[in-house]
Structure 1
């Protein structure tokens, strides 16, 4: 995280740092969890600690559906 912060420096982020980091990390996380659970959304959602509808929304946001 420190290296990431050093890399972006004082660059303005209109979304905020939290949104920027979540956007960078969430897509790969979803992709890996879905692959691990062989595309089973119910099991993936349980592993992530979110409900299936939320998982589907996030998958769609990241173009993974």
Structure 2
């Protein structure tokens, strides 16, 4: 394994309900959301969850890369055009 590969973070599955993984945070948030609905109808939940996750992800990655969109796109595994489209979509540009 070369040096670049050894520095890449490995994606792993959440192994425990008590371990504070991103997956478990999302699971708890969705559970809380459903518990607070109190009979209200829900639609477009998928898009709402994506936006709720994507906005802070983009913000923090841009903060991490000090606003360098090329580096941010690379870190996210997106091309720069797609990143810019998402930044515009969420009013982050």
Smaller-chain TM-score bracket:
0.7 to 0.9
C-alpha distance after superposition, 1:11-30 (max 9, x if no partner): 53321x32121110111110
Q: What corresponds to 2:6 in structure 1?
A: none
More helix by share: 1
> RMSD of aligned C-alpha atoms?
1.5
From the CA coordinates, give the structure whose radius of gyration is larger. Answer: 2
Pairs aligned (count): 64
Q: Which has the higher contact order (CA 8 A, sep 6+)?
A: 1
C-alpha distance after superposition, 1:8-48 (max 9, x if no partner): 21653321x32121110111110111111111111100000
1:20-59 to structure 2, matched below 5 A, reads: 20-59=48-87
Question: Tell me, which stretches of 5 or more residues in structure 2 are unaligned?
Answer: 1-25
Normalised by the length of structure 1, the TM-score is 0.83
User: Given the alignment, which residue of 33, 37, 60 partners 1:8?
Assistant: 33
